[in-house]
Structures are given as structure tokens and as C-alpha cells.
Chains A and B, each alone.
Chain A
């Protein structure tokens, strides 16, 4: 047994006896599960939000791109019986409402959920140690560190990216998006009263369109990095990532205490 362990070994118990007999497990599997640990980190609402958000944002990016650059004209029927572009916009607005209310729900859950549910909303920039961890994680990504560290929640780099692109980025998209929506909803509508002030603030509707469009691209870039990093971390890091998004359990691959 490794001296550097966070577990108190219980050598009297032999796990997976039946599995060993049926050939479902090997002796090294047994050794492995003696050393692995798992923490329940992400509760059901957090995971649900993640996937609703993922689906919603995908719909929003695709339809949003099409709204700015419409598909080729279609001549299916008379204009009165054809609603192609209308449906694209409808999908965009519906997905926007879902993502917005899911985000509000996520904020609520940060207040009532477990400790880790608040991580997304607070970036501990005042914490010296956190910055050291950011540097360490950046060095790990630059192949300058041999070993990554263990993280129960998000690693500091992912934490920063999620805070910037999701917490702030999604807020920006909700504000600019509903300001644009208020133009169609009309003056005096709820979205106009809540978000209409954004239009003169940025200097006009066309500028707002451009900003909202740039916001979409920043989210696309985040998705690229996010998906890549999740898969890479799942393979190379010392904890589970992808399955955690589904089960909520963070599994550590070794029993090294740090």
C-alpha cells in the first residue's frame, strides 16, 4: 500500500469477490477501487440546467446565425401560407426564454443548493491561493507541469472561463437579446420596460445586433474549448469530468492526498 494515501485501508475486506470469480474484474481492478474515491458534487438541478443550457444554446447559435444570414429564399407556397423564417425566429425566441428561465432557476439553486452550486457565480479573485492554482492549471495546459491537481468542483481555469463566458456572457446575451426582442414586442411591453434601455446605451439597434452577434461567437468559442477540455480532462486529469456531468459524482482516479 502506498504510504501517501488518503484512505485508511481495510485489508480484511476483499471487494468484488463475485466479479473476480466471473471474470468481470481483475486483481488490479480490486486494487484500483481500494484507492478510488467519489464525491457527490452536482445536484440534479445543476446537471439538468447544464443540459438544458447546452441544448438551448445550440438552438440559439444555429437559429441566431440564420437570423443574421437567412437561408436561401424558399418558394413553397404563397407568403401567407409560408412561415419559414418566422419559425426560425420562433425557435430562437422560445429557446431564449427557456435558457433565460433556466438561468434564473440556476441562480435560485445557487442560493438553496449545496456548496458547489455557488462556484459558478463567484470568482475568488481576492484569494491569493486561487491565483496560484490558476497559474498551476495554466502550466499544466502548457505541458509545463507533469501532474495536474485534483479538483472537486471546477478547476480554476475552467472556473474562470465559465464565469466569464457563461455567468457574465449569458447575462450579456440575455440583456442584449431581450433588448432586441423588445423591438418586436413593442414599446411598453415587459421586455421593453426591463431591457429597452440597452438600445440607446449602446448607440442604436444596429450596433446592438452586432454586439449580440459577437456575443454568439464568444459562446461558440467557449463551447469549442469547453468540449475539448472536458474530454481531455476526462482522459488525462485525475478526476472524472464527462460522467460527472451526468451522474453528479466526481470520481478520483488515485488516492494521492493532493
Chain B
């Protein structure tokens, strides 16, 4: 550990041939959407740059991000973990346990102050001084703050770290809080999704190592290369959407024909992620391809944004279960009824006044008006 090996050194040590290494570089380049000219750049970076130390901490989470991460195909997670980064602390993946593990983290923080990347999976609960999530005998929020203090940058893995996800869903009893609301003085890359796509996770890391800078982020702090378009924009069922051909019910003829799942509440049109291009499990499929609508897992507060199966989703703000259409129709009905009553009253009142104004004793300008 005293002298950092380069990525290439480690790969060669593992018996990976030069040819395989170059193949890997070109696959990584295409995964990042880079042209062939970048392949030698990636290769050069891997040959010369020391591996970047990474501390990977786990808060309130289900570990689905790790599960996704280890299934990355381009590049293989093993390449990332063993060759590209120096994953010095990850309580789920590391061999060490207990005091040994905590010591490894302290050592990394001490040794690479300001140079390591902090990857956060899950989020810290803040209620009861953070007692709802204890790591190494201390509240997770303390570990997070400690590790973040000297980090170069923070990666928020998944919907938990980025937005809060299910543990932060209303009423959020533990006050689970996304990372960017706890750590405010470090650059944070949000990689939302429940979990994020494996290739997106490894792609973000690869980019940071190759170019030694953060990927370009969008307004919400997500890497633009993976989160700049909606699922809908690249969905292979999009022609059916434009044609007005929708699945009307599960298992109907239209579902068999693979029509658009818009009416079944697909959240593709409101979800920014790379599922429809990168897909899952080495590009095998993604939810819509498997016949189920997108549930919008990479969007802020997706648990509280209403049913996964409604297009016009429920609004909980009104106390009762209702959606914009129900509220609108009810309000329009009340106003329409009110207008009808008011119109009837207006007719009666003006008829009455006309009758009165025929009475010569009540002479006003009313007469000429009516």
C-alpha cells in the first residue's frame, strides 16, 4: 500500500494480457460515449496513474447498489475493484471485519487526505442523534461526516444517498436525509436509481479516474452522460406512444403486441436514467422491455409521487386520496352548480325588480335600463 500501483500494473499482475487490456479500454470508451480517439487516452491514464483510493460507506440502505455494482459487465466490477480503484474500505465487500475494518478506513483517511473518493450508499438518519443506524458502534452520520471531511469528492450511490428513497418516504420517522443535505461543502455526484445501473456506476468511476475530474453534472448534480435524457426519449416503444397505441390493461392484446405502457402509469416520461439505452444485466433487458412500466426509481421522492400504475398520480397534499383530475372535476362541478344556482337567482331577482318597477311610485333610472 505504501507505493500505489497503476491500474495497468495490477491488471498485468493478474495475468490480463495487453490485448485484453486494450479491449477493455475501448469498451470503457464506448460505454462512456467517447470516440475511438479516447481509447489511447484511457490506456495511457491506466498505465501511468496511481489507483484512486475509495472509501465506500453504507448508511440506511438495502445494499441493492452494491448488488448492482458487482454485476457490472462493461467494465467488469472485478476490474474496477481490483484494478482501477483501491477500494480500501467497504464493509460489505471487504475481507476485514470489526476493528480491523475501521482501522483500514482510518488509515486511508490519514494517508490520502484530500485525495480519496468517498462513495456513500444509503443515507444517514438524523432523528435521535442518528441512533437508527449504527456503524462500528457509532451513529452512521458521524462516520459520514468524518469520512467526508477530507474527501476529494463524494459519490451518492442510488436513490437513498441522492434523494432519500423509501426510508425518507413520508412520514420519514427516522428523518433519513440525503447526503447533500448533510455534507454541504464537498462536490457531490448523485447517481440515483434503486439501484443505479451497474454500468452507470462503474462508468462514473472510470470517467473520474481516466480524466481526473468530475463528470459534467446537470442541474440536480447527476452525471449528464447518463442522466440527461428520460427513459421515454430513448424508449424502443416510443413509436407506439406517438401513434396513440397503448396497453389498456395488463395482458390485453396490446400488451402482447408490445404497445406503449403510458396508460398503465409508466413513469418513463418523467424519469431521467439510462435504462432504455444501457439496459440491465449486461444489456439483456429493462423494465419496459419486460412489459412493465418504469416506476421512476431514479427520480426525487418517487415513493411519495403516487402510484406506480397511474398516469395522473394521486396527490396526498389534500389529505384524502385524490388526483389532479378528481380535484379539478369536483371544483369545476361545484363552480358550475354555483353558476346555475346564481343564474336562476339572477333571473328571479331581475324579474321581481321588473315587476316592482312597473309600480309608478318607485321611479328610478331602473326603468329606462330594463
- Taking CB atoms and an 8 Å cut-off, the chain A residues in 185-234 that contact chain B are 186-187, 196-197, 199-200, 203-207, 209-210, 213-214, 216-218, 220-221, 224-225, 228, 232
Pick out which of these stretches binds chain A: B33-41, B56-64, B362-370: B362-370
Q: Is the CB of A71 within 8 A of B244?
A: yes
User: Is A127 in the interface zone, CB < 8 Å from B?
Assistant: no
Contact among B242, B311, B332, B346 for A232, CB-based, below 8 A: B346
Q: Is the CB of A220 within 8 A of B248?
A: no
Known interface pairs A187-B218, A203-B300, A213-B324; A236-B331 also in contact (CB < 8 Å) = no
Max count, chain B CB within 10 A of own CB: residue among A79, A85, A88, A221: A79
User: Which B residue's beta carbon lies closest to that of A141?
Assistant: B342
Task: Give the complex CA separation of A173 and B240 in angstroms.
Answer: 28
Q: Is the CB of A82 within 8 A of B328?
A: no
User: Which A residue's beta carbon lies closest to that of B246?
Assistant: A73
What's the nearest-Cβ distance from chain B to residue A135, in Å? Answer: 18
What's the nearest-Cβ distance from chain A to residue B302, in Å? Answer: 8
Q: Is the CB of B245 within 8 A of A68?
A: no
Task: Give the complex CA separation of A183 and B229 in angstroms.
Answer: 8
Q: Is the CB of A221 within 8 A of B335?
A: yes
User: Is A86 in the interface zone, CB < 8 Å from B?
Assistant: yes
User: Which A residue's beta carbon lies closest to that of B221?
Assistant: A200
Task: Give the complex CA separation of A218 and B328 in angstroms.
Answer: 7
Q: Using Cβ atoms and an 8 Å threshold, which residues of chain A touch B311?
A: 68-69
Known interface pairs A35-B368, A68-B311; A75-B245 also in contact (CB < 8 Å) = yes
User: Is B96 in the interface zone, CB < 8 Å from A?
Assistant: no
Q: A-side binding surface: helix, strand, loop or mixed?
A: helix
Q: Is the CB of B245 within 8 A of A83?
A: no
Q: Is the CB of B369 within 8 A of A253?
A: yes
What's the nearest-Cβ distance from chain A to residue B256, in Å? Answer: 13
User: Is B226 in the interface zone, CB < 8 Å from A?
Assistant: no
Task: Give the complex CA separation of A89 and B299 in angstroms.
Answer: 24
User: Which B residue's beta carbon lies closest to that of A32?
Assistant: B368
User: Is B306 in the interface zone, CB < 8 Å from A?
Assistant: yes
Known interface pairs A68-B311, A204-B301; A216-B248 also in contact (CB < 8 Å) = no
Q: Is the CB of B343 within 8 A of A228?
A: yes
Contact among B219, B243, B299, B313 for A79, CB-based, below 8 A: B243
Contact among B245, B323, B336, B353 for A224, CB-based, below 8 A: B336
Q: List 22 A-B contacts (CB under 8 A).
A: A68-B312, A73-B248, A73-B259, A75-B245, A79-B245, A82-B243, A82-B244, A146-B353, A183-B230, A183-B269, A187-B224, A200-B220, A204-B300, A204-B302, A206-B296, A206-B299, A206-B302, A210-B324, A214-B328, A217-B324, A221-B335, A254-B365
Residues of B that sit less than 8 Å from A by CB: 218-220, 224, 228-230, 233, 239-246, 248, 254, 259, 262-263, 267, 269-272, 296, 299-302, 305-306, 311-313, 315, 323-325, 327-329, 331-332, 335-336, 339, 342-343, 345-346, 349-350, 353, 365-366, 368-369
- Beyond A83-B242, A143-B345, 5 additional contacts (C-beta under 8 Å) are A70-B244, A73-B246, A82-B244, A183-B269, A204-B305
Residues of A that sit less than 8 Å from B by CB: 2, 4, 31-32, 35, 68-75, 79-80, 82-86, 88-89, 141, 143, 146-147, 183-184, 186-187, 196-197, 199-200, 203-207, 209-210, 213-214, 216-218, 220-221, 224-225, 228, 232, 235-236, 238, 253-256
